[in-house]
A and B are shown apart, each in its own frame.
Chain A
Amino acid sequence: MSDKSKVIYLLVIFCAVAAFPFLYNSLSTPVNAKIELNTPVIDAMKVKQCIVPKEEMRRDHMKILNRWRDEVVRDSHREFGNIDGVMYEKSLQRTCMHCHSNKSEFCDRCHAYASVDVYCWDCHLAPKENKP
């Protein structure tokens, strides 16, 4: 192999690595990252409102859940009053999943999209879903 061709091979490898994400995306089918909010419980709500505003929830839900876990497990402190004074129980299963009973279309879609490997379900039981 001549010296010049070694340089060319090197550059080809470099370009291939750089082109990988572009090629991959153009050939793959994107996952559906759209979260599904239409569960029976939510549909029945008059005011569709989560415990905190939606944007905050999208950004910080993991922090809220983490805090809840610590407060419940360590301090038995189970009540969460939101900004409007509405009280909620700090419970993943009984509060969150009560409305969002569709884990696979709600939690999992985003987490899969962003490769977030949550460990909630290491302890908690995932709600039974009525798969169509």
Chain B
Amino acid sequence: MKILLPFLGVIGVVMVAFVGVELLNLRYLFGIIIPYAAFITFMAGVILHVLKWGRSAVPFCIPTTSGQQKSFPWVKRDRLDNPSDNLEVIGRMALEVFLFRSLFSNTSSSLKEDEGRLIHGSSKWLWGAGLAFHWTFFIVVFRHLRLFVDPIPSVLYLVDSLDGLMQLGVPVLYWTGLILLGSATYLFIRRVFIPQVRYISLPNDHFPLLLIIAIVLSGLLMRYFLKVDIIYVKDLTVGLFSLKPVITHNLGLIFYIHLFLVSVLLAYFPFSKLMHAAGVLLSPTRNMPNNSRRVRHINPWNYPVKVHTYEEYEDDFRDKMKKAGIPVEKE
């Protein structure tokens, strides 16, 4: 049920696009209105969510220190895993965001039940698949800029030619598309077949993965098999990104399915765990330097508290203190 429901959800999304475009001929709705609505939802949703996080205070300096602190000059410190200033934090964050450094150090523990022995080993599968997924996703989105802007900046030609380096087939095969499909599929299969991960997964863990897989599949189908007229597609997309959208020609169902899936992903994004993309940048255990003994961190809501003062303590124990030879304030 946890997997079936999101699967049906994605099928449903495809069906809606099919019915809307093919049967009801609502091309203006699916080609222009919904994409705009989704984009606005995405932008507003992300901004409001981040502002909401931003309103929450950061009362304490609580970095997770994963390496040696800065103490003496003669002790080799770990600048990246235990940053002591903002520059080092930027280094730590950059490695975290671009290379998933924490996940790189992942281990896997297993129990030899007969001997009662725990074995811990390095485990890099999740790191590798996660990294491949996010990077190829980014490149694919970046590559799509060629359809969004006119004329095309030369950097896009470079990315395009690198991505199609092997010149396989016509149109040239983009290897990022395949890797994206492969890694997303791996991540999904992992969620379904590794018992622990399946157990902790929620329907809204499966849904975005399946949605992305559907987006990739529809994109691949459109480029390599079902074919759409890319010039007409670009007329629409450039129109969308120039705020002068027009639908001049029949663009083919597969295009509308692809576009609607993307719209759903955009609109879903701010209300889901996909916000991790922004959240990781604000995570206090990663984005703070471990310098709280050197620089006082200020808690904006620090307030005075009731304490048991020394005077009260001495009043409680004066006689005992005097007998024990401990100096007191009041004789």
Query: Can you list 18 residue pairs at the A/B interface with Cβ under 8 Å?
Result: A7-B50, A7-B51, A7-B53, A10-B282, A11-B47, A25-B241, A31-B150, A33-B150, A58-B231, A59-B228, A62-B171, A66-B169, A110-B231, A112-B151, A113-B151, A113-B231, A114-B147, A114-B231
B230 touching A21 by the CB < 8 A rule?
A: no
Judged by DSSP, the binding face of B is helix
The yes or no answer to A130 lying at the interface (CB within 8 A) is: no
- Given A31-B150, A113-B231, do A65 and B242 touch, yes or no (CB 8 Å)? no
B150 touching A113 by the CB < 8 A rule?
A: yes
Closest CB of chain A to B40's CB: distance in Å? Answer: 11
The yes or no answer to B167 lying at the interface (CB within 8 A) is: yes
Which residue of B has the minimal Cβ distance to A110? Answer: B231
Which residue of A has the minimal Cβ distance to B233? Answer: A114
The yes or no answer to A84 lying at the interface (CB within 8 A) is: no
Inter-chain CA distance A55–B249, complex, in Å, is 11
A115 touching B160 by the CB < 8 A rule?
A: yes
Closest CB of chain B to A96's CB: distance in Å? Answer: 15
Inter-chain CA distance A58–B229, complex, in Å, is 7
Judged by DSSP, the binding face of A is helix
The yes or no answer to A15 lying at the interface (CB within 8 A) is: yes
Mark contacts of A1-22 with chain B using CB atoms, 8 A cut-off: 1 yes-contact digit, 0 otherwise.
0011001101100110010011
Closest CB of chain A to B300's CB: distance in Å? Answer: 9
B231 touching A10 by the CB < 8 A rule?
A: no
The yes or no answer to A60 lying at the interface (CB within 8 A) is: yes
- Given A11-B51, A114-B146, do A3 and B58 touch, yes or no (CB 8 Å)? yes
B161 touching A31 by the CB < 8 A rule?
A: no
